[in-house]
Chains A and B, each alone.
Chain A
Amino acid sequence: MFFKYLPACLLAGAILASTCRVEAQTETDAILMNKSQFCSGFLYSHSAWDEYWEGTLKRNNLNLGTVTTQSVLYMATYGITDNLNIMAGAPYVWTHASAGTLHGMKGVQDISANIKWRGVNHAFNQKSKLALYAIGGFSTPLQNYVIDFLPFSIGLGSTTFTGRLMADYKYKRWFTTLWGAYTYRNNIKLDRPDYFDTHNHNSNEVKMPNVSTFQLKAGYRGRYLIAEASLTRMHTIGGFDITRNNMPFPSNQMNASVVGAGVKYTLKQHTNLSFIGNVGYTFNGLRINDHYFLESRNVGKATTFSGGIFYAFYTQKTARAAHKDNTHQQ
């Protein structure tokens, strides 16, 4: 069900506020609601950093101290069929810095909606199973929040379209999932009439580079307990580096590598109710012989944790009767 890594939110607190657009959760896991099953809940996230990458230079900023982004996400998922789910969510986000004089921002951020389809669900034998998914996503700001005030902005203000392909292999109760996503980001408009990125623009419109994201995760997936570890890589296709001692800009090339872990537990006595918890840590890729791979740039070196509670039920009695309880598909 709603167990996932919120790759987006792991980056929250990356300078990149939009990454905290906790994307409607379940588009990044290999779990589906059953037909006519409805699940919704709240997720609180806390992400903080006191170091960030200015281009690839890791630095602190005594005029910011620790920058904290918090959010509460409401989201809901519904099973149209056992193989087709729709989901939607929106967070309220607020930001704060421990030092300096700048004013934090707060507000409702972007609504996101996803449709998730399982095209292949093949059992090799009693023990091993392969499933393939295609997921389409859309997100857009719910209000005209301030974009051009990073790292305090609550989001990047772009309307996005995401296509995602996912493969999930399960052996007994052990699983591994791999997905890749491509996000198209619409241009955004600033409050100021002109701006400089790598040259001057007589325009308030900013071309937003697209983003690709990959995640590999593995763990245990039982009926009541799920536990997993993950590696997420976000890469901005284009964009530019923050120049020396400059402020970040929405169309910076924000790249991040994040390791994470999470659990979800569904109560045995009340299978309507489940709890989830995640942690994530942004790191500077891997260094091999002075070469960096999966290097992070123009994002905060964030540590993120989140916790949430979700409630699931069937909208049709007949559907309920077909299943043992409210847990996710096995």
Chain B
Amino acid sequence: MKKLTKYSTIAACFGALLLGGCSKDIYDRTANIPALMPQVADGDAGEWKPYLLASNEEFPVAAPIAVTNPDYIAQVNEIKAAQADYTSDEAALVKYWSAGAVLRWNEIMRELVSKRNLPPYQNDDGTYPAPSSTNPLAYPIFPFANPPYAARAYAYVAAAQYDALIAAYHYKAIYNRKAPYKADSTLNVKIPKNDLPSYPSEDAVVAGAAVELLKLLFPADQDYINQRAQEHMQARILSGANVRSDLEAGQALGKAVAQKFATRARGDRAGTAGGNQASWAALENDCLARGEVPWYSFEVPKRPPMLPGFGKVRSFLIDSLGVIALRPGPPPAVESEKMKQETLDVYNYIKNPSRERIRIVHFWADGAGTYTPPGHWDAIAADEFIKQDLSEVRWARNMALLNMTLFDAAIVCWDVKYFYYNPRPTQLNPAIKTLTGIPNFPSYISGHSTFSGAAAAVLGHLLPAKAQVFADMAQEASMSRVYGGIHYLADCQTGLEVGKKVGGYAIERAKTDGAE
């Protein structure tokens, strides 16, 4: 039957070719998902625990005007005017954004990371230029959104959106201003109605927080980011979900909260994580002094190691002593029999790779030009959260917990990598040809394994029924690095274990944040 379909398709294509070709539309997993219709409204979310805000009233929201006020009626009329010539493009915009603000902004972030995740090309003298946040549009464009950079970016935006949203829910409960479609029953509504007070708008809070932080994190893409935010706000007006003052209050709140996160970001030590010539040399010399073989870059010309200081970046959930306490024991010594065996095992994996193994390597590779492993776990999580019909604020809470743990995984893993400075398998056996690019940093422990171990633990806590599925995915992601020839088994096994422990911190927080 399947074959028959295939042949008929081919036949149909031949026919259609004469008429101008088959449809080449591609299926996108989230292009046509329904509007958000939460099973639980989470109206009490105003009392959940924030990450950075001192309290949910740190950034006060002014009382709204009454729905009987002529200004308010004018704002409802703005909706009616906008809906008067409702085009199919506008309907598409409403449909797109109604799927959920946190989801869509997470997708936009994944896109920005993919676009900017490209290693700079070398200078003529064999050195490499570093992207500069003060001159972001000059080549190399800022940032190089590699996995640690991306993990941190996803985490800040997710946490800021969460903190801003719970503050918004707090004020929604206090002011209890009805949605415009409840204030004026003649209003045409393009999305499912709910009982949540609409001031300040949760969509505007999410967009406001994202825009403010993304200005800092992806400065070269500001025009694009602003355009998406504008579309988002326009969709809220067109749909009849919010009046202008709902949006303005929401954006102001989101922006204020994000500014507090931006201030933290400027002082979290990520800015100096790239190191300099002296610190790179020190890493190598320290390793030699310990009697070990130091890592070297496989790129030509040799590229400085990626973000060697990232292990010192300030986490939200784990203090610096906690990061050191999570550091596992050393990898097998380079000259040991154990390491020779591990290297031989990697060689055997790449010698005659099966098609299925290559598929696994490429499924999880998430290398240059992609949204990175943290982005991949966000995509996996989003696909599951879509099925759960979560409220906007629970979307934000879950995404914040996930991205906090991915950020922690980056910090802890990078600390371990530069503490041991262990060579990649190909350095010990040049016959090891890899099925994906060798990442430009030391081998022990595997970043993919740490990210995946942490993400699977947190997602397993949030969705217990799927815990085993996530654990199996993490296991496959971890092994993909051995199949690809870029990690020893020990890197991956230890990485998964460390990742799981990192996930424990976010799980502890989840148990006490007031949302369970």
Query: Residues on A close to B: CB < 8 A?
Result: 62-63, 99-104, 138, 144-146, 148-149, 159, 161, 163, 184, 186-187, 190-196, 199-203, 205-208, 210, 243-247
Contacts and interface: CB of A to CB of B under 8 A. Distances in A.
B363 A192 contact: yes
Contact of B118 (A100, A144, A195, A243): A243
Contacts of A208: 24
Contacts of B27: 203, 205
A186 B438 contact: no
Interface string B401-437: 0000000000000000000000000100000111101
Contacts of A100: 298, 300
A163 B17 contact: yes
A246 B359 CA distance: 21
Given A193-B379, A200-B111, A202-B28, 9 more contacts: A101-B426, A101-B432, A186-B22, A192-B362, A192-B370, A196-B114, A196-B370, A202-B29, A203-B29
16 contacts: A102-B435, A103-B350, A103-B434, A149-B362, A149-B435, A161-B14, A163-B17, A184-B22, A187-B24, A193-B363, A194-B370, A194-B376, A200-B371, A202-B107, A244-B118, A247-B369
Given A196-B369, A243-B118, A62 B301 contact: yes
Contacts of B379: 193-194, 202
Q: Which of A62, A138, A195, A245 has the most CB of B within 10 A?
A: A245
B86 interface: no
B111 A199 contact: yes
A273 B13 CA distance: 39
Contacts, number: 112
Classify chain B: how many residues form its interface, as a range.
Answer: 35 or more
B274 interface: no
Nearest to A104: B433
Contacts of B362: 146, 148-149, 190-192
B26 A99 contact: no
Nearest to A140: B10
Interface in B66-122: 107, 110-111, 114-115, 118-121
A99 B433 CA distance: 11
B111 A196 contact: yes
Contacts of B289: none
Contacts of B114: 196, 200
Contacts of A206: 26
Contact of A207 (B24, B121, B301): B24
B300 A63 contact: yes
Given A101-B298, A246-B369, A203 B28 contact: yes
Contacts of B353: 103
B260 to A, nearest CB: 29
B139 interface: yes
A212 to B, nearest CB: 13
Contact of A102 (B17, B25, B115, B437): B437
Interface in B275-302: 298-301
B401 to A, nearest CB: 22
B217 to A, nearest CB: 16
Nearest to B299: A63
B139 A244 contact: yes
Given A101-B426, A187-B24, A191-B363, A202 B31 contact: yes
A244 B121 contact: yes
A200 B26 contact: no
Contacts of B118: 243-246
- Which 6 pairs across A and B sit closest by C-beta, in order of nearness? A196-B114, A200-B111, A62-B300, A191-B362, A103-B433, A205-B26
Contacts of B14: 161
Interface string B120-150: 1100000000000000000110000000000
B45 interface: no
A205 B14 CA distance: 21
Nearest to B369: A246
B485 interface: yes
Contacts of A145: 355
A269 to B, nearest CB: 44
A200 B110 contact: yes
A115 to B, nearest CB: 12
